[in-house]
Amino acid sequence: MAPSQSSATEVVDIHTHMYPPPYITLLRSRTTVPYIRDIPDLGPRLIILPDEVATGRPIGPAYWDVGEKLKFMDTHDINTSVVSLANPWLDFISDPEEGTRLAREVNDWFEKTCAESGGRLYFFGVLPMRAGVDAICEEVKRLKALKYSRGVVMGTTGMGDGPDDKKFEEVWAAIEETEAMVFLHPHYGLPNDVFGPRSGEYGHVLPLALGFPLETTIAVTRMILSGVFGRFPELKMLLAHSGGTLPFLAGRIQSCIEHDGSFRKGEGKSLNVWDILKKNIYLDAVVYSAIGLKAATEAVTSDRVMFGTDHPFFPPLGEETKWVSVQTNYNAIEEGFKDEDSIKVLGKNAVEVLSLKH
């Protein structure tokens, strides 16, 4: 708990993941990335990126057991969590029927689990992103009818050709129609060679700390540049990791648009990144510094930034019960804000923006 946080302060975690049992069964059945396998002396390991096939990362009940999720929440003074399937979602399921079936299974599991949680859990649903526009839109609509669904989680590739793919606009239309929040989250990062010949010596720091945030920034900037927010003005996008780098680079993006002949005429002319930030964009508070958090808040206003943990990722390397990664984000809120804004970012915004009942 952040030092000034009173016990009455509502804390909502809007960036917290699970792999429900049907998804775990799927990962255990696979032999290509993503998959889970038991490695001698290391135990069960999760491999979700091609460059981690040697050892992957440890995976345990924190990924699939709702009891573990609630225990983590209790340990970290979190009242309510809006859980979402972790990357890479269903992006790798090319068979439309399998994708559609899995999306339903996963979403139904989340719905049931949330219903049994005594009001502590809500969820962002997953879409069968390789099953075609109709199947995706149908799941968008089905989710709208589920009591504990509060939006959809997705990666940065849309149906495979990007979030600025014209063919994807039917999906944006369906999402706008249902008023679902879109939780946009990275997975693919950047090609390894951009990190240089010695990136292997630096663990996962470069892809996780720099590749992930840039992936998110590129995706949302492509949406801005292609005019998606002009055509779907009510879209609501919650960007992971405080927008990647968007709050810091928004000025440079806007300046580059204003200085680029390609955007002098037509639709692009009225593009204003700052307007889109304050109209369509919401940010989590998973940025690990007061400096980043203040930039995020100034970019989208303090009504639109919401606490998150990224659980079960970034566990402590030692035996600590309280996670350093969580505490760092609590500290950033404590350092960066006055009381009122702190209360908003910790939970009040999420309750209002996502209509969480209490």
Interaction between residue 291 and a copy of itself (CB under 8 A): yes
Least distance between a copy of itself and beta carbon 33 (Å): 19
Interaction between residue 263 and a copy of itself (CB under 8 A): yes
Least distance between a copy of itself and beta carbon 105 (Å): 31
Binding segment for a copy of itself (CB under 8 A), chosen from 21-29, 59-67, 230-238, 287-295, is 287-295
Least distance between a copy of itself and beta carbon 23 (Å): 24
Interaction between residue 42 and a copy of itself (CB under 8 A): no
Strands (E) across the chain are located at 12-18, 35-39, 43-47, 57-58, 80-85, 121-126, 149-154, 181-184, 236-239, 281-284, 305-306
Least distance between a copy of itself and beta carbon 187 (Å): 14
Please pick, from the candidates 295, 346, 354, 356, the single residue that binds a copy of itself as defined by CB under 8 A: 295
Interaction between residue 72 and a copy of itself (CB under 8 A): no
Using DSSP, state whether 154 is helix, strand or coil: strand
Residue 29 burial by CB count (10 A; 0-12/13-18/19+): exposed, middle or buried? exposed
Among 240, 105, 89, 107, smallest CA distance to 159 is for 89
Structure tokens at 127: 């879409």
Least distance between a copy of itself and beta carbon 201 (Å): 7
Contact assessment for residue 328 and residue 242, using Cβ atoms and an 8 Å cutoff: no
Each residue 218-257 as x (binds a copy of itself by CB under 8 A) or -, in order, gives x--xx--xx--------------xx--x-xxxxxxxxxxx
Structure tokens at 163: 């979030």
Q: What does the alpha-carbon distance between residue 89 and residue 94 come to, in Å, rounded to a whole number?
A: 12
Structure tokens at 318: 């030692």
Interaction between residue 162 and a copy of itself (CB under 8 A): yes
Q: What is the DSSP string of 73-138?
A: HHHTT--EEEEEEPTTTTTT---HHHHHHHHHHHHHHHHHHHHTTTTSEEEEEE--TTS-HHHHHH
Binding segment for a copy of itself (CB under 8 A), chosen from 2-10, 124-132, 178-186, 317-325, is 317-325
Q: What does the alpha-carbon distance between residue 88 and residue 317 come to, in Å, rounded to a whole number?
A: 24
Each residue 179-218 as x (binds a copy of itself by CB under 8 A) or -, in order, gives -----------xx-xxxxxxx-xxxxxx-xxx--xx--xx
- Report the interface residues with a copy of itself, using CB under 8 A: 161-162, 164, 190-191, 193-199, 201-206, 208-210, 213-214, 217-218, 221-222, 225-226, 241-242, 245, 247-264, 287-292, 294-295, 298-299, 314-317, 324-325, 328, 332
